[in-house]
């Protein structure tokens, strides 16, 4: 085997020092979800700065000819008892802010929790070079390699840069009311659960005023969800400024809002303020619903939330249960990776295949090891390793005004966005989104002439209305409303139960068109429009339209329960086409809107003579 110094000298021209703007992938493999914490660590090419797990680095070396790789391994440290100040009387750690990501005192978890080992690996013989080894090598080798290693270490990883770019966390300041907050000695003690607004009995988005202990609902959101503004109204009546959101209290802190400062704030005396109402925050846990039993194995891989990314996670989890997506991307992953371009991080097909394989293979659906367990002897923590789809999210959201951010998004809108990307990238091959594609037939009948018009369009999602008047528990709903109106605080909250068949029936109801231009009678008249399936998809995506508008035009979310059957009979919704003896509306376009010539010329101007009445726009001269 050749001397490692001679090998380094022979490849020195291929070793680059990262420059500003270079994308350094030192947290995630380009072709898998391997990371420096994975078995075998991560290999960063010292020329392209692409990262590869141990199972793909040899493949990259063979294809690219690159030999020098910066090898990073991280081992989780054993957690000390006082790492998070849990169980102590110290104030909770501050939440990270946009400006604090990756800087001193900021969101720098890796620095505290991991031990890192780095070295240079020369392929194909996997010769190792440490910083100590470089000290004995020629100056030209030592300088170039040391600068490259230091540059890679100092560079922002692509995933970290995206976190900073997309981070929408607010910068919370200490409230000016926290130090001297007035608290009433009224004997109020808050139970650990079962909170309801004291005014409207709402059970979600509940806040406790830190002065008098009043438990009230929060603000109403733009979409009608949230609360009924009773906590805000209470501040306007009393001037008591601070409120804490119940269900968010943990030993690390809680969500505190200052109505006077109109912002989320920090309260350094929060343990004391909560204790006044019988709440020991050091024993509280954030409300998270039912405890779930962890599961492991192929097809049972969890996805980490990257900050309001649940819409993306849920859509992709569902899509990769569909055989068409499995066969397109997962079954062909070796072929896809072999055909990947030189930068696979920017290739749609590669990144979708990587995500699908990560979800279905079971490689990342294993119990995470205990911190500090070097020999694997201790019990696993119980949570999954899982996958964090940062590279995928960055690629599919690039250039999109919404999906490129960390804000909450609509899953249905993301599904249509992703299907559009799939279709653009599958024009010359099998298109798995065809599994959701179906034809819709719209039949419009002119009520004056009784002649019909048929049109078809492509769709991927059925949007079902919610007929509230079809609730099967109307009497229970009315009884609960009557009791609440009479001031009965024990009246239960009753959710309307709507049969799924009623939603489907509402979809098939004729729609009245009052401003329809009929080519048969050459004027506007009334028509009816019915919608049917001209074809059925292999997999039907259904969206329940739970949002509606009240009389005040404020959007509201319907609180309903819809029991979806295991088997659907859609035969009644199948289109039949033109009926025997039915006449079609003539294919005549509506007459154009006419504007007197003198008015047009007055607006646009004119030129020419009496025989030439062509127009021109002064703005284009």
pLDDT the model gives residue 404? 85
pLDDT the model gives residue 444? 96
Band of pLDDT at residue 220, cut at 50, 70 and 90: confident
- For 28-40, write each residue's pLDDT tens digit: 999 999 999 999 9
pLDDT the model gives residue 619? 35
Query: Cα 583 to chain center, whole Å?
Result: 49
End-to-end CA distance of the chain: 77
**Which tops the pLDDT comparison, 83 or 330?**
330
Q: Provide the angle, in degrees to the nearest 10, between the axes of the packed helices 310-319 and 411-424.
A: 50
Closest listed residue to residue 125, CA positions, set 252, 261, 4, 248 = 4
Task: Please compute the mean of the pLDDT values over residues 333-352 and round it to a whole number.
Answer: 96
Q: What percent of the chain is modeled with pLDDT above 90?
A: 56
Q: Determine the CATH number of domain 4-79+99-166.
A: 3.30.40.10
CATH T-level topology, domain 437-573: Cathepsin B; Chain A (3.90.70)
CA distance linking residue 534 with residue 250, whole number of Å: 54
Give the predicted TM-score (pTM) of the model: 0.71
pLDDT the model gives residue 375? 52
Band of pLDDT at residue 399, cut at 50, 70 and 90: confident
Burial class (CB in 10 A: 0-12, 13-18, 19+), 529: middle
Cβ atoms of residues 479 and 490 within 8 Å: no
Task: Please compute the mean of the pLDDT values over residues 178-186 and round it to a whole number.
Answer: 95
The reply to whether domains 172-286 and 437-573 share a CATH topology is: no
Structure tokens belonging to residue 342: 């030189």
Task: Please compute the mean of the pLDDT values over residues 442-447 and round it to a whole number.
Answer: 96
CATH architecture, domain defined by 172-286: 2-Layer Sandwich (3.30)
Coil, strand or helix at 452: strand
- For 608-620, write each residue's pLDDT tens digit: 443 443 333 333 3
Q: What is the DSSP string of 4-59?
A: HHHHHHHTGGG-----TT--B--SS-SSSS--TTSTT-EEEETTT--EEETTTHHH
So where are the chain's domains? 4-79+99-166, 172-286, 309-368+383-435, 437-573
pLDDT the model gives residue 372? 52
Query: Cα 36 to chain center, whole Å?
Result: 25
Lowest mean pLDDT: which of 265-274, 281-290, 327-336, 337-346? 281-290
Coil, strand or helix at 179: coil
Burial class (CB in 10 A: 0-12, 13-18, 19+), 362: middle
């Amino acid at each position: 085997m050749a001397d490692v110094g001679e090998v380094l000298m022979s490849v020195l021209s291929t070793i680059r020092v990262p420059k500003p703007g270079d994308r350094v992938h030192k947290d995630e493999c380009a072709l898998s979800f391997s990371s420096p914490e994975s078995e075998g660590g991560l290999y960063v090419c010292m020329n392209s700065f692409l990262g590869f797990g141990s199972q793909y680095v040899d493949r990259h070396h063979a294809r690219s000819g690159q030999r020098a790789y910066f090898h990073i391994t991280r081992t989780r440290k054993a957690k000390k008892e006082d790492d998070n100040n849990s169980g102590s009387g110290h104030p909770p750690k501050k939440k990270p802010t946009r400006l604090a990501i990756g800087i001193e005192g900021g969101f720098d978890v890796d620095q505290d929790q991991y031990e890192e080992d780095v070295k240079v690996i020369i392929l194909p013989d996997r010769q190792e070079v440490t910083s100590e080894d470089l000290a004995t090598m020629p100056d030209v080798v030592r300088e170039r390699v040391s600068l490259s290693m230091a540059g890679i270490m100092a560079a922002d990883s692509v995933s970290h840069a995206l976190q900073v770019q997309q981070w929408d966390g607010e910068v919370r300041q200490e409230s000016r009311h926290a130090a001297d907050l007035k608290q009433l000695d009224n004997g109020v003690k808050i139970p650990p659960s079962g909170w309801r607004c004291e005014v409207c009995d709402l059970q979600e988005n509940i806040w406790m005023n830190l002065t008098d202990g009043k438990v009230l609902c929060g603000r109403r959101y733009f979409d009608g969800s949230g609360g009924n503004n009773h906590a805000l109204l209470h501040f306007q009546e009393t001037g008591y400024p601070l409120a804490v959101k119940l269900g968010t209290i943990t030993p690390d802190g809680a969500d505190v809002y200052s109505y006077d400062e109109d912002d989320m704030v920090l309260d350094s005396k929060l343990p004391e303020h909560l204790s006044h109402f019988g709440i020991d925050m050091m024993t509280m846990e954030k409300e998270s619903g039912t405890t779930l039993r962890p599961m492991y194995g192929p097809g049972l891989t969890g996805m980490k939330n990257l900050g309001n990314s649940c819409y993306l996670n849920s859509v992709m989890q569902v899509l990769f249960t569909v055989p068409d997506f499995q066969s397109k991307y997962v079954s062909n992953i070796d072929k896809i990776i072999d055909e990947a371009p030189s930068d696979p991080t920017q290739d749609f097909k590669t990144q979708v295949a990587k995500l699908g394989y990560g979800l279905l293979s079971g490689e990342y659906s294993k119990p995470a090891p205990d911190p500090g367990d070097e020999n694997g002897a201790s019990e696993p923590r119980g949570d999954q390793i899982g996958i964090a789809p940062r590279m995928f999210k960055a690629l599919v959201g690039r250039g999109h005004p919404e999906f490129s951010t960390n804000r909450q998004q609509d899953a249905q809108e993301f599904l249509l966005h992703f299907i559009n990307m799939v279709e653009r990238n599958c024009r010359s091959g099998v298109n798995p989104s065809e599994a959701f594609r179906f034809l819709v037939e719209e039949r419009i009948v002119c009520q004056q002439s009784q002649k019909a018009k048929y049109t078809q369009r492509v769709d991927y999602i059925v949007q079902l209305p919610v007929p509230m008047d079809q609730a099967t528990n109307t009497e229970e709903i009315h009884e609960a409303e009557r009791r609440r109106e009479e001031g009965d605080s024990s009246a239960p909250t009753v959710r309307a139960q709507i049969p799924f068949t009623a939603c489907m029936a509402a979809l098939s109801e004729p729609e009245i068109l009052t401003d329809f231009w009929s080519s048969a009678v050459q004027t506007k008249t009334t028509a009816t429009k019915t919608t049917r399936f001209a074809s059925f998809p292999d997999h039907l995506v259904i969206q329940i339209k739970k949002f509606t508008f009240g009389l005040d035009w404020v959007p509201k979310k319907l609180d309903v329960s819809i029991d979806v059957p295991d088997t659907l009979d859609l035969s009644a919704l199948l289109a039949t086409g033109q009926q025997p003896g039915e006449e079609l509306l003539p294919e005549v376009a509506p007459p154009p809107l006419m504007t007197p010539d003198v008015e047009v010329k007055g607006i646009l101007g004119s030129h020419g003579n009496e025989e030439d009445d062509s127009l021109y726009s002064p703005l284009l001269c």
